[in-house]
Structure 1
């Protein structure tokens, strides 16, 4: 799985520079290289053409709230994995995040970085299974043809 790490492109969207820097440093320490940070939802949306794989999106931001940004990201490309990050452990927020297409919802607490790692590992597993299924699908398709 190690080789997949290098190819993942991350966006970190948080208007708290300190948090964004902590996440970015943590990801770099875990050998992820391709990381862009944005301090607003608007900045993130303007850069979606860069095709990020995973976006860590702060729920509570000044300009656009996290849900608005999440909906726009999913409209732009439903295949981007968006993880909503929130300072509050609020069940309604979590449910809405998932309803609007977030892959996961994590709370900013002492374990936030470990939770980021767990979520990335889940996504890598899914991506791996999807690519295996695609290969199987192609094989099945060609065996029907020939």
Structure 2
């Protein structure tokens, strides 16, 4: 007699769906050290506990090589030869799944268009409402990431059920062929 033991693991047991604000790795680059501290502090107050700040392009690129962020907040004007677009292109190469948000004091529509063409998720003009806009965008990204992971889990779960049905069908066919004849 042959016994088949199959355990179906629940989705909660197999996968962790929650991508909370605490878990989200955010890299923030701005050459204005005061603005860098203000925004970083605000993000921490909003519940984002994994924020790393950078004041230049080289440091953020090196950090991306070591650990890929979920989100990168990038200043457009960096006060040197490099601008935020150069950093965006490098991050897109190293970490294509990172959501990149541009921050700039400039309201030049051509700059906004250029950043979006290069793959930025969005563009925020520094000003009175910038912190609110940033927090809104970050929440949207976290919600999108959670929904995306949940749909992948559901797909894997459905695939597991189909494979289980196929396996049971094959085993039953094999069992029946042994007793026929």
TM-score range, shorter chain: over 0.9
The TM-score normalised by the length of structure 2 is 0.76
8 Å contact kept, 1:59–1:66: yes
Displacement of 1:3 after TM fit?
7.0
Which residue of 2 is the match for residue 109 of structure 1? 127
Match of 1:59 among 73, 76, 80: 76
Consecutive unaligned residues in structure 1, runs of 5 or more: none
Which residue of 2 is the match for residue 46 of structure 1? 62
Match of 1:24 among 40, 49, 61: 40
Number of paired residues? 146
Match of 1:85 among 57, 80, 103: 103
Which residue of 2 is the match for residue 9 of structure 1? 25
Supply the RMSD in Å over aligned alpha carbons.
1.6
The SS at the match of 1:62 is coil
Note the alpha carbon deviations across 1:29-78, whole angstroms, 9 max, x for none.
11211111111111100111222211110001123100010000000011
Note the alpha carbon deviations across 1:76-103, whole angstroms, 9 max, x for none.
0111111011111122211211111111
The SS at the match of 1:7 is coil
Which residue of 1 is the match for residue 138 of structure 2? 120
8 Å contact kept, 1:84–1:97: yes
Give the Cα separation in 1 of the matches to 2:23 and 2:94. 21
Name the one with the larger strand percent.
1
Give the Cα separation in 1 of the matches to 2:75 and 2:19. 28
| Misfit runs of 4+, over 2 Å | none
The SS at the match of 2:44 is helix
Which residue of 2 is the match for residue 143 of structure 1? 161
The TM-score normalised by the length of structure 1 is 0.94
8 Å contact kept, 1:57–1:66: yes
The SS at the match of 1:47 is helix
The SS at the match of 2:139 is helix
